[in-house]
Structures are given as C-alpha cells and as structure tokens.
Amino acid sequence: MGRAVLRPFSRKRPRPLIALNIHPTEKRWFFVAVLLVAVMIGLVVYTAVAMSVHPPSNVEAIDSTRLHLTPEFAEENLGVKREKDGAIVARVVMARYMVHPQEIRLPADTPIVLRAASADVLHGLHVAGTNIATQVVPGYVSEVHTRINFDSVAKIGIQNGDGSVTVPLFCNEYCGLGHQSMWGRVIVTRK
Ligand code: CUA
C-alpha cells in the first residue's frame, strides 16, 4: 500500500491560461501611441484655453437663396449694430465673390457677436490677427462670440491716423475662380 501524498497548499503559482509575451518593440510603440494621444489632447486644450480656438457650436438654419428677403440679412441691416440689450453684433453676407459689407468697424476688447451667412456656396470667414475664423455654410448662420485683442491686430494691421487699425477679412475656403478677390476690411477701434 503506497503512501498518499497530500499537497493541499502547493507553492507553485497556477499557470496563466494565455501566456502574455509582449515583444519589447511592441511595448515601446504602445507608449509612443499613448504619448501621441496625450500630446494631441494637450494641443486641443492648449489652443482652446490659450488661443481661444473653439469648435463651432451654433446651429441655425436659414434659406440661403432668400437672404436678401430676411429681416436680418437684408442689405440695409448688414454691418455693425448695437442691439437693444447692448450687444455689438456684426452681420456679414458672403457671396461669390464679395464680402458684404466691404468694411466694418468693431471696437477692441469688447464682447462682440459676428453673424455670417452665405448666399451661395461654402465660404470661410477669417479676420487676420483675431480668432475669428469660421466656415460659412450655405443654409446655416455662422455665429462667433469673441473679443478682439487690440495689440494682436495692431501687430499686423495698418495703423490709421485716428488710432484705429485696419485688418483684412477674407474668405479662406476655396469657393470658385474668384475666391482670391473675396475680402473686406475690419477697422478695429480702441475701446
Ligand atoms: Cu469665398 Cu473663397
């Protein structure tokens, strides 16, 4: 009769069902991938906080073929207006190949709202030296809430005799053969 060998508490660890052998190169690339994601998230946060670059958030439909018949984007209502609640609102229509109106005056370091609509195809609206840069998609109103920093526009703009600065406003989405002539002026005045 043989002796029963009882080994209830084996010191040996159970073997894993799948042996995970990660190659050192794969491990290294895993960290590179994680680092890339972290850098990209960091860039998004940095541009949002330090450079005021935000994704568009306004969804407002409009019939692009009838802009001139709407009370808001009719020709006589375009340009800069102070609303009843005190807000400064600039309205612009982008159409091949013009920006209407050709010139707008905006105060610096003041909250402003820019509302733009396209009368035909996709345009882009960019004001040099500011964070105003938005697509103007036909069928929708693009709205930008911002403050223009006087020093940043003064750095690149044309100084006027009265202390204001002129910067260009231009289309930055290729919209056709006359795209390069689609631009206007923004006169930024000191607060
Ligand atoms: Cu409008 Cu390019």
pLDDT cut 90: percent of the chain above it: 70
Q: How far is the CA of 31 from the centre of ligand 1 (A)?
A: 42
Q: How far is the CA of 57 from the centre of ligand 1 (A)?
A: 22
- Tell whether the model's pLDDT for residue 9 goes beyond 80: no
DSSP per-residue string spanning 97-162: TEEESSEEEEETTS-EEEEEEESSS-EEEEETTSS-EEEE-TTBEEEEEE---HHHHHHHSEEPTT
Rounded Cα–Cα distance for residues 178 and 105 (Å): 25
pLDDT at site 2: 56
Whether omega for the bond prior to residue 71 falls within 30 degrees of 0, making it cis, is no
Query: Where does residue 112 rank: exposed (0-12), middle (13-18), buried (19+ CB within 10 A)?
Result: buried
pLDDT cut 70: percent of the chain above it: 92
Look up the pTM and report it: 0.76
pLDDT at site 5: 58
pLDDT band, residue 87 (cuts 50/70/90): confident
Residues 159-171: tens digit of each pLDDT: 999 999 999 999 9
Residue list, ligand 1 pocket, CB within 6 Å: 94, 123, 171, 173-175, 179, 182
Amino acid at 76: E
